[in-house]
Amino acid sequence: MLIFLLLFASFAAGATLHGTVYDGTLEPLDKATVSINTTPAQFVVAYNGSYSFDVPVGEYEVTASYKQGNATFSDSDYVEIAGSGSFSLDLVIFSFEQVFDEAYGIPENPVPEEKGELAFLYVAAGLLIGAAIVFGIWTVMKGRRGKKEGAAEGRGGNKEEGNRKDARKPPATIIPKPVIPASISLNPEQREILSFLRKEGGRATQKEIRKALPYSEAKISTDLAILEDAGLVRKIKKGRGNIVRMT
Protein backbone atom coordinates (compact mmCIF):
# COMPACT_ATOMS: atom_id res chain seq x y z
CA MET A 1 0.00 0.00 0.00
CA LEU A 2 2.83 2.36 0.90
CA ILE A 3 4.61 1.64 -2.40
CA PHE A 4 1.40 2.37 -4.33
CA LEU A 5 0.98 5.69 -2.52
CA LEU A 6 4.58 6.66 -3.25
CA LEU A 7 4.18 5.85 -6.94
CA PHE A 8 0.91 7.77 -7.10
CA ALA A 9 2.47 10.80 -5.40
CA SER A 10 5.44 10.65 -7.77
CA PHE A 11 3.24 10.67 -10.89
CA ALA A 12 0.98 13.35 -9.42
CA ALA A 13 3.99 15.65 -9.04
CA GLY A 14 5.28 14.75 -12.49
CA ALA A 15 4.96 16.19 -15.94
CA THR A 16 3.91 15.50 -19.52
CA LEU A 17 6.54 14.38 -22.02
CA HIS A 18 5.56 14.63 -25.67
CA GLY A 19 7.24 14.71 -29.06
CA THR A 20 7.29 13.50 -32.65
CA VAL A 21 9.01 10.53 -34.29
CA TYR A 22 10.49 11.37 -37.72
CA ASP A 23 11.88 9.20 -40.50
CA GLY A 24 15.15 9.86 -42.33
CA THR A 25 13.53 12.49 -44.55
CA LEU A 26 12.36 14.39 -41.43
CA GLU A 27 8.71 13.57 -42.06
CA PRO A 28 6.50 12.27 -39.21
CA LEU A 29 6.71 8.46 -39.03
CA ASP A 30 3.30 6.87 -38.58
CA LYS A 31 2.76 3.97 -36.15
CA ALA A 32 6.23 3.82 -34.63
CA THR A 33 6.35 2.26 -31.15
CA VAL A 34 7.64 4.55 -28.40
CA SER A 35 8.62 3.38 -24.90
CA ILE A 36 9.96 5.03 -21.76
CA ASN A 37 11.61 3.26 -18.82
CA THR A 38 9.43 4.63 -16.05
CA THR A 39 8.28 2.32 -13.25
CA PRO A 40 6.30 0.60 -14.60
CA ALA A 41 7.50 1.04 -18.19
CA GLN A 42 5.12 2.73 -20.64
CA PHE A 43 4.52 2.01 -24.33
CA VAL A 44 2.50 3.85 -26.96
CA VAL A 45 1.95 3.72 -30.73
CA ALA A 46 2.83 7.08 -32.28
CA TYR A 47 0.05 7.73 -34.78
CA ASN A 48 1.18 10.36 -37.31
CA GLY A 49 4.46 10.36 -35.37
CA SER A 50 3.05 11.96 -32.20
CA TYR A 51 3.42 10.49 -28.71
CA SER A 52 2.81 11.59 -25.13
CA PHE A 53 3.55 10.21 -21.64
CA ASP A 54 2.70 11.27 -18.10
CA VAL A 55 5.97 10.89 -16.20
CA PRO A 56 7.25 11.60 -12.69
CA VAL A 57 10.36 13.62 -11.91
CA GLY A 58 13.54 11.80 -12.91
CA GLU A 59 15.85 10.90 -15.80
CA TYR A 60 14.60 8.47 -18.44
CA GLU A 61 15.48 6.82 -21.72
CA VAL A 62 12.92 7.17 -24.51
CA THR A 63 13.11 4.69 -27.39
CA ALA A 64 11.26 4.72 -30.72
CA SER A 65 11.28 1.65 -32.97
CA TYR A 66 9.83 0.89 -36.38
CA LYS A 67 9.63 -2.40 -38.27
CA GLN A 68 10.36 -2.33 -42.00
CA GLY A 69 10.06 -5.76 -43.59
CA ASN A 70 12.15 -8.17 -41.51
CA ALA A 71 14.31 -5.40 -40.04
CA THR A 72 13.61 -3.18 -37.04
CA PHE A 73 15.14 0.31 -36.80
CA SER A 74 15.21 2.44 -33.68
CA ASP A 75 16.44 5.61 -32.04
CA SER A 76 16.72 6.51 -28.37
CA ASP A 77 17.59 9.55 -26.30
CA TYR A 78 17.67 10.60 -22.66
CA VAL A 79 15.51 13.24 -21.05
CA GLU A 80 15.54 14.74 -17.56
CA ILE A 81 12.22 15.73 -16.00
CA ALA A 82 13.16 18.36 -13.44
CA GLY A 83 9.66 19.23 -12.27
CA SER A 84 6.05 19.58 -13.29
CA GLY A 85 5.16 21.02 -16.67
CA SER A 86 5.46 20.05 -20.32
CA PHE A 87 8.66 18.65 -21.86
CA SER A 88 9.41 17.86 -25.51
CA LEU A 89 11.70 15.27 -27.11
CA ASP A 90 11.76 14.41 -30.83
CA LEU A 91 13.31 11.24 -32.23
CA VAL A 92 14.61 10.46 -35.74
CA ILE A 93 14.71 6.90 -37.10
CA PHE A 94 17.01 6.21 -40.06
CA SER A 95 16.87 3.10 -42.27
CA PHE A 96 19.71 1.41 -44.16
CA GLU A 97 18.25 2.66 -47.46
CA GLN A 98 19.01 6.24 -46.39
CA VAL A 99 22.57 7.60 -46.40
CA PHE A 100 23.53 10.45 -44.07
CA ASP A 101 26.80 12.15 -43.23
CA GLU A 102 28.44 12.41 -39.82
CA ALA A 103 26.46 15.54 -38.98
CA TYR A 104 23.41 13.33 -38.38
CA GLY A 105 25.34 10.74 -36.38
CA ILE A 106 24.65 7.90 -38.83
CA PRO A 107 27.45 5.86 -40.47
CA GLU A 108 27.34 5.68 -44.26
CA ASN A 109 26.66 2.21 -45.72
CA PRO A 110 26.89 0.27 -42.42
CA VAL A 111 28.51 -3.20 -42.67
CA PRO A 112 28.01 -5.97 -40.05
CA GLU A 113 31.21 -6.67 -38.11
CA GLU A 114 31.29 -10.38 -38.90
CA LYS A 115 31.28 -9.58 -42.64
CA GLY A 116 33.58 -6.57 -42.46
CA GLU A 117 36.74 -8.30 -43.71
CA LEU A 118 34.99 -9.98 -46.66
CA ALA A 119 33.24 -6.73 -47.56
CA PHE A 120 36.60 -4.92 -47.52
CA LEU A 121 38.03 -7.39 -50.05
CA TYR A 122 35.00 -6.92 -52.32
CA VAL A 123 35.31 -3.15 -52.08
CA ALA A 124 39.05 -3.21 -52.79
CA ALA A 125 38.58 -5.45 -55.83
CA GLY A 126 35.76 -3.26 -57.09
CA LEU A 127 37.88 -0.12 -56.72
CA LEU A 128 40.77 -1.66 -58.67
CA ILE A 129 38.48 -2.77 -61.50
CA GLY A 130 36.71 0.59 -61.53
CA ALA A 131 40.03 2.47 -61.62
CA ALA A 132 41.21 0.39 -64.58
CA ILE A 133 37.98 1.04 -66.49
CA VAL A 134 38.07 4.78 -65.75
CA PHE A 135 41.73 5.01 -66.81
CA GLY A 136 40.96 3.24 -70.09
CA ILE A 137 38.00 5.50 -70.84
CA TRP A 138 40.03 8.60 -69.91
CA THR A 139 42.85 7.56 -72.25
CA VAL A 140 40.47 7.04 -75.19
CA MET A 141 38.58 10.27 -74.54
CA LYS A 142 41.81 12.24 -74.20
CA GLY A 143 42.96 11.05 -77.63
CA ARG A 144 39.63 11.91 -79.23
CA ARG A 145 39.49 15.31 -77.55
CA GLY A 146 42.99 16.14 -78.77
CA LYS A 147 41.99 15.38 -82.36
CA LYS A 148 38.80 17.47 -82.11
CA GLU A 149 40.61 20.46 -80.59
CA GLY A 150 43.26 20.34 -83.32
CA ALA A 151 40.65 20.29 -86.07
CA ALA A 152 38.69 23.12 -84.45
CA GLU A 153 41.63 25.57 -84.40
CA GLY A 154 41.45 28.26 -87.09
CA ARG A 155 37.68 28.12 -87.55
CA GLY A 156 36.36 29.18 -84.16
CA GLY A 157 35.95 25.63 -82.92
CA ASN A 158 37.07 26.44 -79.39
CA LYS A 159 33.99 28.56 -78.71
CA GLU A 160 31.68 25.88 -80.07
CA GLU A 161 33.39 23.23 -77.94
CA GLY A 162 32.95 25.41 -74.86
CA ASN A 163 29.25 25.73 -75.60
CA ARG A 164 28.93 21.95 -75.90
CA LYS A 165 30.66 21.50 -72.53
CA ASP A 166 28.26 23.94 -70.88
CA ALA A 167 25.31 22.09 -72.43
CA ARG A 168 26.49 18.84 -70.82
CA LYS A 169 26.44 20.30 -67.29
CA PRO A 170 23.63 18.75 -65.20
CA PRO A 171 20.93 21.20 -64.15
CA ALA A 172 21.23 22.42 -60.56
CA THR A 173 18.64 21.30 -58.04
CA ILE A 174 16.32 24.23 -57.42
CA ILE A 175 14.48 24.54 -54.11
CA PRO A 176 11.50 26.92 -54.40
CA LYS A 177 11.80 30.15 -52.45
CA PRO A 178 9.70 30.14 -49.28
CA VAL A 179 6.52 32.19 -49.37
CA ILE A 180 7.01 34.93 -46.78
CA PRO A 181 3.78 36.65 -45.70
CA ALA A 182 3.77 40.43 -46.04
CA SER A 183 3.15 40.73 -42.30
CA ILE A 184 6.53 39.12 -41.51
CA SER A 185 9.62 41.33 -41.68
CA LEU A 186 12.94 39.47 -41.89
CA ASN A 187 16.38 40.99 -41.43
CA PRO A 188 19.24 40.24 -43.87
CA GLU A 189 20.75 37.60 -41.57
CA GLN A 190 17.50 35.63 -41.40
CA ARG A 191 17.13 35.78 -45.18
CA GLU A 192 20.71 34.54 -45.46
CA ILE A 193 19.85 31.53 -43.30
CA LEU A 194 16.90 30.70 -45.57
CA SER A 195 19.14 31.08 -48.63
CA PHE A 196 21.70 28.68 -47.14
CA LEU A 197 19.00 26.11 -46.36
CA ARG A 198 17.75 26.33 -49.97
CA LYS A 199 21.26 25.60 -51.25
CA GLU A 200 21.49 22.59 -48.92
CA GLY A 201 18.29 21.08 -50.29
CA GLY A 202 15.98 22.46 -47.62
CA ARG A 203 17.67 21.14 -44.48
CA ALA A 204 20.92 21.32 -42.51
CA THR A 205 22.14 21.00 -38.96
CA GLN A 206 22.40 24.11 -36.82
CA LYS A 207 26.13 23.41 -36.57
CA GLU A 208 26.46 23.53 -40.37
CA ILE A 209 24.61 26.85 -40.48
CA ARG A 210 26.93 28.25 -37.82
CA LYS A 211 30.03 27.16 -39.79
CA ALA A 212 28.74 28.55 -43.09
CA LEU A 213 27.64 31.99 -41.86
CA PRO A 214 29.78 34.62 -40.08
CA TYR A 215 27.51 34.99 -37.04
CA SER A 216 27.74 33.92 -33.42
CA GLU A 217 25.96 30.87 -32.03
CA ALA A 218 23.64 33.13 -30.02
CA LYS A 219 22.75 35.14 -33.14
CA ILE A 220 22.02 32.00 -35.16
CA SER A 221 19.86 30.57 -32.35
CA THR A 222 17.87 33.80 -32.03
CA ASP A 223 17.26 34.10 -35.78
CA LEU A 224 16.24 30.43 -36.04
CA ALA A 225 13.75 30.92 -33.20
CA ILE A 226 12.22 33.88 -35.07
CA LEU A 227 12.05 31.90 -38.32
CA GLU A 228 10.44 28.97 -36.51
CA ASP A 229 7.84 31.24 -34.87
CA ALA A 230 7.07 32.60 -38.35
CA GLY A 231 6.48 29.05 -39.60
CA LEU A 232 9.33 29.19 -42.13
CA VAL A 233 11.57 26.53 -40.56
CA ARG A 234 11.26 23.66 -38.09
CA LYS A 235 13.95 22.66 -35.59
CA ILE A 236 14.20 18.98 -34.65
CA LYS A 237 16.41 18.12 -31.70
CA LYS A 238 18.85 15.29 -32.42
CA GLY A 239 21.32 14.40 -29.68
CA ARG A 240 23.03 17.59 -28.53
CA GLY A 241 22.23 19.53 -31.69
CA ASN A 242 19.33 20.48 -33.93
CA ILE A 243 18.35 19.57 -37.47
CA VAL A 244 16.75 22.55 -39.23
CA ARG A 245 14.44 22.09 -42.20
CA MET A 246 12.36 24.48 -44.25
CA THR A 247 8.61 24.05 -43.89
Give the distance, in angstroms, between the CA of residue 149 and the centroid of all CA atoms in the same chain: 45
Calculate the average pLDDT of the chain.
76
Mean pLDDT of 127-150: 73
Which among 108, 93, 102 is positioned nearest to 208, based on CA atoms?
Answer: 102
Fold of 10-104: Immunoglobulin-like (2.60.40)
- Residue ranges covered by each domain of the chain: 10-104, 111-151, 188-246
What is the pLDDT, as a whole number, of residue 26?
81
Are the CB atoms for 91 and 62 separated by under 8 Å?
yes
Does residue 135 have a pLDDT over 90?
A: no
Quick: pLDDT tens for 181-210.
666 788 999 899 999 998 888 888 888 998
Same fold yes or no, 10-104 and 188-246: no
What is the pLDDT, as a whole number, of residue 186?
87
Q: What is the pTM of this model?
A: 0.50
The C-alpha atoms of residue 212 and residue 78 are separated, in whole angstroms, by 29
Class (C level, CATH) for 188-246: mainly alpha
End-to-end CA distance of the chain: 51
